[in-house]
Structure 1
Amino acid sequence: MNKLPAREGWNWVKQGFALFRKQPLGLGALFFGYVLVAVALGLVPLVGKLLSYLLVPIFTVAFMQGCANAEQGKRVHPGLLLTGFRSPAFPTLIKLGLVYMALAMLAIAASTLVDGGVWLQVLLRQLEPDAPETKNSAFGAAILFTAFAQLISFVLLAFTGPLVHWKRMGVGKAVFYSVVGILGATKAFMVFALSWFGISAIIGQVVFLIFGRTSMFQPVLITVSLIYTIAAFCSFYAIYCRLFGAPEAELTQPVPANDA
């Protein structure tokens, strides 16, 4: 995990698009499969949201498996969503999910310093989002703070799931290597993040120039945004391979259902 030049960040972006082009339908199915699960869990008050955090490393393993399959010319299919559940490292992935859950809860708890706990009360269904208290507090700032804190922590843990699944690391070791690997490539990650931000802004402007304020603007923008979001997820596989090495072919074979 040597320090990488800043230009490597742009290479990761290009590799993400290249990987997505290999099997766009399969990788898209994996992505939307997880989104549907997350949305379904979100319908369950409070507990569902916590469960969605628990599943983050398991989904990460599933999507990374899909990327590995695409790179190796193997079929990518929705059944790969079960990869983490069938993995010999499943118990460790669950423990890792608890770390994600704890960090998410910590971010929410810390947001009380911003708005005095209004956002927390809304999450606990003790207040309605349009209640007078939300209008007389830093409610919006608390939401942004929570989202930013969770984003940073989840990015730092981005490679923990694959390290547990493919390298058979324990939770502590996986967290250590993921964080150190990312911090060691800070410049490359800054270019990577700025590149995706720029791509998002440019695409938004191009779609607006073409469709203006017509009824087609929103559907086209959402569709294009989903495509580059999936490509961005594919980029993380390229980053993993650069930092920790590509997974060996035999390790990317999913465990059959009857062996789970």
Structure 2
Amino acid sequence: MQAAILPINAGWFWIDQGYRICRRQPLAMFFWSMTLSMLISLSYLVPLFGQMALIIATPSLTFMTLAACRRIDSGQPMQLGMWTRPLRDARVRKRLFVLGLAYLASCFAGGLLATLPFLDTLTAAIEGQGQIDEYALLQAMRAPMITFGVLYVLISMLFWHAPALIGWHGVPLGQALFFSMVACWRNKWAFLLYGITWAAIFIGIQLLASLLVGLGLSATFLQFLLLPVNVAITAVLYASFYPAYVSVFRSAE
């Protein structure tokens, strides 16, 4: 499979196309965005194991999102019972589950690689009587968090396109990870613009919220007001995954 090399402005094109997909069936995408937000929140009710389960399920959820967006983009209605249809094939379910395990293992390995070189510094931030110096601990955590952030970018490149390659085209796991990495690297500037744009959008919303609170608006009312806005914007984010895949692997679609 050949990955196209796209211009840098493709990053904006993906977001624009994601918005267009949401406009075609806004209720379906809003429902899905809200559902995923609830799953993320529920995962924190069971510390560690909840997050592990969510990581394992991420490739399957991503594939469900892509399949729904493809259906919407083709002009077909997206109804409630159709969300799980992409996972009805037992072979696809198994392959995506294995991909989820690989994703979990990669995140775990990334966490170890980011933490072990700074383990002495982290340990020193904890005082002998078991009391924690919070400021020292935050300072000690800065380097591991930055290191993990860099490693996670590489992990994301490996797994970004893998669910679609495995679910739609039956590409073996190793090849899917390789093709995904190559595709992301070939379009690194477009993905950089894509990531910066989304970061600017979400940071802008938070800055606007802070400004409104500073002007006297109730924080509780603002949170109530921003909830549907965040869900809607996140729906566009999820929808933009599909045009990113199609435009890069258009020869395979």
**TM-score, scaled to structure 2:** 0.80
Q: Over residues 80-139 of structure 1, what are the superposed CA-to-partner deviations in whole Å (9 max), with x where a residue is unaligned? A: 44245313322111111111101111122123236528989xxxxxxxxx9515543313
> For residues 199 and 41 of structure 2, what CA distance do their matches in structure 1 show?
25
Specify whether residues 203 and 95 from structure 1 end up closer, same or farther in structure 2 by C-alpha distance, changes over 3 A only: same
SS of the residue 2:47 aligns to: coil
Bigger CA drift: 202-211 or 78-87?
A: 202-211
Alignment of 1:104-123 (within 5 A): 104-113=107-116, 115-116=118-119
> For residues 79 and 122 of structure 2, what CA distance do their matches in structure 1 show?
39
> For residues 204 and 49 of structure 2, what CA distance do their matches in structure 1 show?
38
Bigger CA drift: 199-208 or 230-239?
A: 199-208
Aligned twin of 1:167 = 169
Structure 1 letter corresponding to 2:132: P
Aligned twin of 2:222 = 217
Structure 2 letter corresponding to 1:33: T
Offset of residue 144 of structure 1: 5.4
> For residues 133 and 79 of structure 1, what CA distance do their matches in structure 2 show?
51
Bigger CA drift: 189-198 or 52-61?
A: 189-198
> For residues 252 and 25 of structure 2, what CA distance do their matches in structure 1 show?
19
Q: Aligned pair count?
A: 239
Offset of residue 210 of structure 1: 6.1
- The answer to whether structure 1 residue 9 and structure 2 residue 11 are counterparts is yes
Q: Over residues 155-204 of structure 1, what are the superposed CA-to-partner deviations in whole Å (9 max), with x where a residue is unaligned? A: 44111001111111111111111111111111211222222233334444
Aligned twin of 1:200 = 202
> For residues 74 and 246 of structure 1, what CA distance do their matches in structure 2 show?
22
> For residues 80 and 152 of structure 1, what CA distance do their matches in structure 2 show?
32
> For residues 232 and 118 of structure 1, what CA distance do their matches in structure 2 show?
37
Offset of residue 233 of structure 1: 1.6
Is contact 2:158–2:178 with CA below 8 Å preserved after alignment? no
> For residues 21 and 119 of structure 1, what CA distance do their matches in structure 2 show?
48
**TM-score, scaled to structure 1:** 0.79
Specify whether residues 119 and 167 from structure 1 end up closer, same or farther in structure 2 by C-alpha distance, changes over 3 A only: farther
Aligned twin of 1:72 = 74
> For residues 217 and 119 of structure 2, what CA distance do their matches in structure 1 show?
42
Aligned twin of 1:90 = 93
> For residues 20 and 246 of structure 1, what CA distance do their matches in structure 2 show?
24
What stretches of structure 2 of length at least 5 have no aligned partner? 124-129
Alignment of 1:36-185 (within 5 A): 36-87=38-89, 88-113=91-116, 115-116=118-119, 132=132, 134-137=134-137, 138-139=140-141, 141-143=143-145, 145-146=147-148, 149-150=151-152, 152-185=154-187
CA RMSD of aligned residues (A): 2.9
Offset of residue 56 of structure 1: 0.7
Offset of residue 37 of structure 1: 2.9
> For residues 23 and 50 of structure 1, what CA distance do their matches in structure 2 show?
31
Is contact 2:67–2:86 with CA below 8 Å preserved after alignment? no
Q: Which has the higher contact order (CA 8 A, sep 6+)?
A: 2
> For residues 207 and 179 of structure 1, what CA distance do their matches in structure 2 show?
36
> For residues 23 and 185 of structure 2, what CA distance do their matches in structure 1 show?
29
